[in-house]
A and B are shown apart, each in its own frame.
Chain A
Amino acid sequence: MLHIVNKSPSERNTLDSCLRMAKKGSTILLIEDGVYGATKGGVAENKLKAAMADIKVYALWPDLEARGMQDSVIDGIEQVDYNGFVDLVAADKNVQSWL
């Protein structure tokens, strides 16, 4: 299952909720303000790194770049563009946006 998170982890609990209710083996894509969660030194860094043992994490690079955060992405988080976003949605059986 693909989980899409678009909220900054320093403002909302969305990423926490997603991590709590995402099955092992699922995928998370961080978009919009959600990409702040993918950056080094942010509030989500440690929990995201821990989750990455069981969950594959991606971030949308157009959103990272728009926010000037393209050079501080946590190692192991793969970056995709909008085409890659489409591929991720297609690859999993279902998708949920954590609004």
Chain B
Amino acid sequence: MTESTGGIDMDEDSSGTIKKFAFVNRKAPYGTIYALESLEVVLISAAFDQDVSLVFADDGVYELKKGQATKSVGMKNFSPTYRALEGYDIEKIFVEKESLDARGLTADDLVVPVEVLTSDEIATLLDEQDVVLSF
């Protein structure tokens, strides 16, 4: 999906600075485009060699649900892309436990291995970031 992101511009002095970026995903897939376009930012961020974490909370945990089949709605199933993140060296994927519990899900229901954290642990993680982009 990177072909649609329009290229990467790295000018000025971006290279060299490493910041902690967290992408917080709180919206379900398909109902709105936010989840998909958030993933596009995540993929681009990999090219900048930043310290990237992905956080899934609230309905955002549905983005990772196994078994998505979008043929009948005529939309692109982008859930396999989460499995490709490892190839981009994006390996810090966190899911809020309370959000999973509230939706009857466990880590086994998700398309990628994740680290399940409590709300308090997510709070600490977010607090440590330099840049938090929430979609």
Contacts and interface: CB of A to CB of B under 8 A. Distances in A.
State yes or no: do A and B touch (Cβ within 8 Å): yes
Given A1-B127, A22-B123, A26-B127, A96 B26 contact: no
A96 B134 contact: yes
A98 B58 CA distance: 11
Contacts, number: 40
Contacts of B127: 1, 23, 26, 94
A42 to B, nearest CB: 21
Main secondary structure of the interface of B (DSSP, over half): mixed
Interface in B69-97: 96
Interface string A13-52: 1000100111100100000000000000000000000000
Nearest to B119: A20
Interface of B: 24, 26-27, 34, 57-58, 96, 98, 119, 122-124, 126-127, 129-132, 134-135
B134 A21 contact: no
A94 B57 contact: no
Given A17-B58, A96-B24, A98-B26, A23 B124 contact: yes
A17 B24 CA distance: 12
